[in-house]
Structure 1
Amino acid sequence: MKMKYVCPFCFESHDIGDVEFACESRKICGPVDANGNITNPGQGENDPKLAKYKGVQSYTGPHVFRRMKNNKEQRSRFSMPASATCDWCHRESHKRVCPSCHNDLPSTIDSDEQIIVALIGTRGSGKSTYIGVLIHEMMKRIFRPFDGTFQLYGPEDQTQYRDRFEQNLYIDHRPLDQTQSHLAGNQISENRPILGMLRKQSGGLFKKMQAMTLVFFDSAGEDWDDPETVNVVANYVAHSSGLIFLLDPLANSVIRSQIANDEAIRTSSVAAEGDVSAPTVVLNEVATLIRNANGLRETDTIDIPVAVAFSKLDVLEDNGILPQGSALAKPSPHVLAGKFDDADRKAVDAEMRSLLDTWNQGDFVDSLGQQYSKASCFAFSAMGRAPQQDGTIAPPAPKRIEDAMLWILQENGIL
């Protein structure tokens, strides 16, 4: 029985019965006078909680209320109410909102499994491009062999994906703009996550349909360079079902010295060593944040699956940096086989750990093993090729982009 839920927007945890409602009859709803008559219908009400989430001074939205009976709040310890009657217009509403931020909660928040994927990485690691291409691939092909489908949750998620990712990558053929920081000065601004629904036929003798909400949050790279900012923007990390830690290999001086073609570096978004926090530093900062949020001791290892994924695999491959017979040079086998191939995962992990040693990042490997009990290394290319000289890009032809996500789902018992 589900006893708690996490808001997929502000990532605050609540008891299952702790929920508010937004009136769905805003055009006729309004405050009531002493005689019980509605005044100023359609004006809505000031919503300071949603204004704070959006990073604006004020925001006018529908009236928000709790389920009441005989002037007393009704709250169950074991279930979430499906509807409530508005105390202004006395019409029923099914629109449940988070008590902390007043964002609309997914309709399945009380029943379906929730998989929050925390995407972490410093500037230049390609987080936004990774999300944009990964979501496209999940909708089109990745889950079909697993008897599953993936679709974006609602109109806001579809609009955000279309305007921010699909229009640029698949229609205009141009790189994505840099993600804006979640913290501007002392003001927190909205950086809305993207929600999607994964539906999958379960295996076994008695098959049944499973549904789960996947939550993707794309934070700006500089949000991970400042320890104080990390504490502001990363509440979702403590509640995540998996971490994908993106690293840009071109930010490593050893790798850069092995690339004869400067064009590969010039056309990539690269933040050189010294300009961003070292990967080990960010890895340890995130571990500290998770421990503090979950009451873990410094000596406790964290059991959230951590996928360390190196971007720009095509550059490593094209410049002969991968070893002879590299597992990374082979196509990803998981989707082709319709099941997760753990032997391939282990081969890729061993190869990447060996490469990290040669790239003078053995401390990162050591810290990864000390901090996290479930960790595996991957590499991918979201675009599959470098941008053109004029700055445009060809349609994405990703390589191994699904590996880290499928492993996290496997570790959560979903595949």
Structure 2
Amino acid sequence: MITMKLKYVCPFCFAEHAIGDVEFACDSRMICAQRDPSGKIVGVPGAGEPDKKMQEYKHLSQAPLGPHHFRAHKTPKFSMPDSAVCDWCRQVSRTRVCPSCHNTLPSTIDNDEAMIISLIGTRGSGKSTYVGVLIHEMMKHLFGPFHGTFQLYGSEDQREYRTRFEDYLYKGQPIPQTTTHLTGNTMTENRPILGMLKMQSSGFFGKVKPKMLVFFDSAGEDWTNMDTIQVVAKYVAKSSGIVFLIDPLANQHVRDAISDDASIRASISADYEPDSDPTKVINDVARLIRDQNGLKESQKIAIPVAAAFSKLDVLEDKNLLPPGGRLSQPSPHVQRGMFDDTDADSVNQEVRSMLDRWDYGSFINTLDMNYATNHCFAFSAYGREPASDGTIAPPIPKRIEDAMFWLLHLNKVL
């Protein structure tokens, strides 16, 4: 049975629209000029027009000049038009844009549900490093055994990934802290990164199934500042999955067990702040999702949550992992070419035991009380500690794929 898609969610501003509610950007900007009702040219060819929608999206002080935007002459109710004629220059455009923010929509927006992954955690938990290394591994190594490929979607996504992540991670420098959505009294854009995952189904006539993955990386401060929470909440409430990162070096019991001061200083969040307590943050996130989605306090949230310890290498080096446990072994999913439920369940139990031992029992209870589907993981994005001068060798991640594979498995992609 084929289900007709009646709505879509913009992967940039996360506004929801009816399937036929779409605008177009003129593809012939160099010759496009405004016309009066009689058809006479009254504008300057190539000048475009101020884009107030993009101004609002990027929180700019003035509207940037962009192409002319328009709608199809006839808007179908149960499908999305794939082209329209510009009312200025009479040329056909196939560039569909979101009517709320004017970002160019992915080509698969009308027939594929984008999988939005939100990354949440307090300052210093390693969200940016996690997504930077994860995307690199997804492009290079992770999906070959699954008969799949992953590539960043467009030139803007490639530029964003290169300047925000790759130029640091693979050139010996740690990634700077993610910028908060609030700078002074001005809101700023934190553009999601889009990638296309293509999986080939089994069988002689195996079809290629595309899936758009959207990664939204919020700053740690965004979850301790009430002025930004409402901005970030709308992104998270539309998620297909949440990865919630926990810095083990922010835990007093872990810090007490580590005598090497350099390891503690490597964690920005080692100085404990009450507003950064993971139990408080995960509870605040639940409240905001309920507010956004109209859920009662008694209703558990259906969005699956992967709660993951970062800096697994530090825990392993300091002998803080269960002896002979799964966390000390390599992740088996890629080697097997399939998701290993047994391994995921064992890792979940091991991490929960460590959380309970380190007095994070309230975090576990809050997680279970609010989220119907959740699992615990642990990973290392770098795979080793930075050198004493702060430089890093190219990452050799450990179990960085586990949480993402679990979310893909739940969404019937993997």
Normalised by the shorter chain, which TM-score bucket? over 0.9
- Residue 61 (1) aligns with residue 66 (2): yes
Equivalent residue letter for 1:115: M
Contact map agreement 2:351 2:377 (CA 8 A) in 1: yes
Q: Give me the whole-angstrom Cα distance separating, in 2, the residues matched to 1:290 and 1:302.
A: 8
TM-score using structure 2 length: 0.96
1:184 shift after superposition: 2.0
Contact map agreement 1:246 1:311 (CA 8 A) in 2: yes
- Residue 102 (1) aligns with residue 102 (2): yes
1:270 shift after superposition: 2.9
1:284 shift after superposition: 1.2
- Residue 48 (1) aligns with residue 23 (2): no
3-state SS in 2 of match to 1:270: helix
1:289 shift after superposition: 1.5
Equivalent residue letter for 1:6: V
Instruction: Return 5+ residue gaps in structure 2 as ranges.
Output: none
Contact map agreement 1:383 1:398 (CA 8 A) in 2: yes
Equivalent residue letter for 2:148: G
1:296 shift after superposition: 1.4
Residue equivalent to 2:296: 297
CA deviation vs aligned residue, 1:313-338 (integer Å, no higher than 9, x gap): 00000011112112111100011100
CA deviation vs aligned residue, 1:17-74 (integer Å, no higher than 9, x gap): 0000111111111111354222211111111110111121221111111112xxxxx2
Residue equivalent to 1:80: 80
Residue equivalent to 1:126: 126
Change (3 A) 1:94 1:275: same
Residue equivalent to 1:195: 194
Q: Give me the whole-angstrom Cα distance separating, in 2, the residues matched to 1:124 and 1:254.
A: 18
2:17 aligns with one of 14, 24, 43: 14
Equivalent residue letter for 1:156: E
Q: Trace 1:2-401 onto structure 2 (pairs within 5 A).
A: 2-33=5-36, 35-38=38-41, 39-58=43-62, 59-68=64-73, 74-170=74-170, 172-203=171-202, 207-274=206-273, 276-401=275-400
Equivalent residue letter for 1:12: A
1:261 shift after superposition: 1.1
Equivalent residue letter for 1:23: C
Q: Give me the whole-angstrom Cα distance separating, in 2, the residues matched to 1:122 and 1:363.
A: 17
TM-score using structure 1 length: 0.96
1:275 shift after superposition: 5.7
Q: Give me the whole-angstrom Cα distance separating, in 2, the residues matched to 1:37 and 1:408.
A: 55
Equivalent residue letter for 1:53: Y
Equivalent residue letter for 1:247: I
Equivalent residue letter for 1:20: E
1:203 shift after superposition: 3.4
Residue equivalent to 1:404: 403
Q: Give me the whole-angstrom Cα distance separating, in 2, the residues matched to 1:113 and 1:6.
A: 8
1:269 shift after superposition: 3.1
Percent identity, aligned pairs only? 60
Equivalent residue letter for 1:163: T
Q: Give me the whole-angstrom Cα distance separating, in 2, the residues matched to 1:218 and 1:206.
A: 38
- Higher deviation after alignment, 275-284 or 404-413: 275-284
Change (3 A) 1:228 1:271: farther
Q: Give me the whole-angstrom Cα distance separating, in 2, the residues matched to 1:146 and 1:285.
A: 36
Instruction: Return 5+ residue gaps in structure 1 as ranges.
Output: 69-73
Q: Give me the whole-angstrom Cα distance separating, in 2, the residues matched to 1:42 and 1:55.
A: 25
Equivalent residue letter for 1:64: H
Task: Give the root-mean-square deviation of aligned CA atoms.
Answer: 1.3
Equivalent residue letter for 2:67: P
Q: Give me the whole-angstrom Cα distance separating, in 2, the residues matched to 1:121 and 1:168.
A: 21
Change (3 A) 1:310 1:16: same
Contact map agreement 1:123 1:276 (CA 8 A) in 2: no
Residue equivalent to 1:71: none
How many matched pairs? 409
1:204 shift after superposition: 5.9
- Higher deviation after alignment, 231-240 or 92-101: 231-240
Q: Give me the whole-angstrom Cα distance separating, in 2, the residues matched to 1:210 and 1:169.
A: 31
CA deviation vs aligned residue, 1:85-141 (integer Å, no higher than 9, x gap): 111111111111101111111111111231000111110000000010000000011
Contact map agreement 2:180 2:219 (CA 8 A) in 1: yes
